[in-house]
């Protein structure tokens, strides 16, 4: 399943995606660190705690669910004012704690159905925006950090090394796709560090040279495309059930965007893909049934599926979705 979010800046697309990041931090017992990194509880509450006294969210996973209510503390942290599992009804886990008690469960029979959803990391939010000189994916890393591709691709070299060893067909498909966008690229040179075999770096070779290059010698757009290609073309058994990506088109050439769309569509056959975008070029590659329009209405984000029937007269006249968006016929445009 593929869901592509479009909307104006500030409509709520990134907030929606950030909600899944928050959920992941809760599951990983890193809520307080996340709250501090965001600037404290006030930044997570709508117009601060003077307007919003708590943040309450409910997730449904088929017939199961999870609800939490977070309230600010005097020290700027967020405390669980309540936490529940769901199966036909809500069962309370606890309250008053600074980190989640999901692992303890409700001590009822529903724990066996809900807890595995959390344990298996069934969804991930991916951001490949940081390609600066200090980005970890450009630095040597542990060769054993290769179980999954990390959300910011910090372990890209180690993960590609694993793919090359255990599923070379997938690895070769990734290399071939990268070469379509970067014809100068020959292959990665993925070997343990000669002086420290526990470390690996992301080195690569140009088609016209035997000189080894480092990731800092790739353009930002090429490096992001490599990360996206690895994420979307990895073996299905390695990836989470839901893949969430915020504005993956950043820095990509129009042809790379076309390939990106094809990879997203292919991956969505087996996985649920959620993507937010501001790119007309990317939007043009999808069907209307894939699109969710996000509008900001009365201080709330409203999510609306496109109706193909309503757009039929325009689509029959060979207008693209991107053209209809620019004509303000889809919504998702800035408005007062």
Give kind and range of the element (H or E) at residue 61. strand 55-61
pLDDT at position 335, please? 59
pLDDT tens digits, one per residue of 121-173? 688 999 998 889 889 999 999 999 999 999 999 999 999 999 999 999 999 99
Helix axes 220-233, 254-267, angle to 10 degrees: 20
User: Left, alpha or beta for 29 (phi > 0: left; psi -120 to 50: alpha)?
Assistant: left
At 332, the pLDDT band (50, 70, 90 cuts) reads low
Say what angle helices 156-166 and 168-181 make with each other, to 10 degrees. 130
Which residues touch 95 (CB under 8 Å, ≥6 apart)?
80, 81, 82, 83
The pair of three-digit structure tokens given for residue 34, joined into one six-digit string? 């996340």
List, in sequence order, the alpha helices (H) in the chain: 13-27, 31-38, 41-44, 111-119, 156-166, 168-181, 220-233, 254-267, 280-283, 308-316, 321-326
Rounded CA-CA distance 110/66 in Å is 11
Task: Provide the greatest CA pair distance for the chain.
Answer: 66
Give the pLDDT score at 321.
85
> What b/e string do you get for 273-291 counting C-beta neighbours within 10 Å, with b at 16 or more?
bbbbbbbbbbbbbbebebb
Distance set, CA 284 to CA 124, 281, 322, 325 (Å): 25, 5, 5, 10
**Residue-level pLDDT at 7:** 86
Q: Which two tokens stand for residue 121?
A: 């990391």
d(CA 187, CA 196): 22
Question: What letter does residue 84 receive in the DSSP assignment?
Answer: E
Distance CA 28, CA 61 (A): 18
CA distance 336 to 334: 7
Q: Is there a contact between 149 and 155 (Cβ–Cβ < 8 Å)?
A: yes
- Across the chain, mean pLDDT equals 90
Residues 274 and 20: their CA atoms lie apart, in Å, by 11
The average pLDDT across 254-283 equals 94
Q: Is the pLDDT of residue 26 over 70?
A: yes
Give me the pLDDT at residue 305, please. Answer: 87
Using one digit for the tens of pLDDT, what is the confidence trace for 298-319?
888 888 888 777 777 777 677 7
> For the segment 186-207, what is each residue's pLDDT rounded down to a tens digit?
999 999 988 899 999 999 999 9
Residue 281: pLDDT band by 50, 70, 90 thresholds? Answer: very high
**Residue 217 — very low, low, confident or very high, per pLDDT cuts 50/70/90?**
very high
Q: How many residues are recorded in the chain?
A: 336
Provide the CB-side half-sphere exposure for 241 (13 A, CA): 7
Does position 336 have pLDDT exceeding 70, yes or no? no
């Amino acid at each position: 399943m593929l869901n592509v979010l479009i909307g104006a800046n500030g409509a709520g697309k990134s907030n929606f995606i950030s909600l899944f990041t928050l959920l992941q931090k809760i599951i990983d017992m890193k809520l307080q660190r996340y709250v501090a990194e965001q600037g404290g509880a006030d930044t997570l509450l709508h117009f601060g705690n003077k307007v919003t006294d708590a943040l309450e969210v409910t997730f449904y996973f088929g017939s199961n669910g999870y609800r939490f209510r977070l309230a600010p503390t005097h020290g700027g942290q967020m405390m669980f004012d309540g936490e529940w599992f769901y199966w036909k009804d809500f069962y309370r886990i606890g309250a008053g704690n600074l980190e989640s008690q999901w692992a303890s469960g409700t001590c009822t029979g529903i724990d066996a159905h809900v807890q595995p959803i959390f344990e298996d990391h069934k969804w991930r939010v991916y951001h490949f925006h940081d390609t600066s000189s200090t980005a970890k994916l450009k630095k040597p890393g542990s060769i054993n950090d290769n179980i999954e591709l990390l959300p910011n691709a910090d372990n890209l070299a180690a993960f590609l090394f694993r793919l090359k060893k255990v599923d070379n067909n997938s690895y070769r498909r990734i290399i071939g796709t990268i070469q379509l966008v970067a014809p100068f690229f020959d292959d990665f040179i993925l070997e343990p560090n000669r002086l420290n075999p526990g470390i690996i770096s992301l080195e690569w070779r140009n088609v016209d040279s035997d000189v080894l290059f480092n990731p800092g010698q790739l353009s930002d757009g090429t490096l992001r495309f490599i990360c996206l290609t690895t994420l979307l073309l990895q073996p299905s058994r390695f990836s989470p059930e839901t893949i969430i990506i915020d504005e993956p088109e950043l820095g990509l050439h129009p042809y790379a965007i076309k390939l990106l769309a094809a990879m997203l569509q292919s991956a969505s056959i087996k996985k649920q893909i959620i993507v937010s975008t501001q790119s007309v070029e990317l939007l043009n590659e999808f069907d209307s049934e894939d699109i969710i329009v996000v509008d900001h209405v009365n201080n709330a984000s409203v999510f609306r599926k496109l109706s193909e029937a309503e757009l039929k007269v325009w689509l029959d006249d060979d207008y693209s979705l991107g053209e209809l968006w620019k004509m303000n016929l889809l919504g998702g445009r800035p408005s007062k």
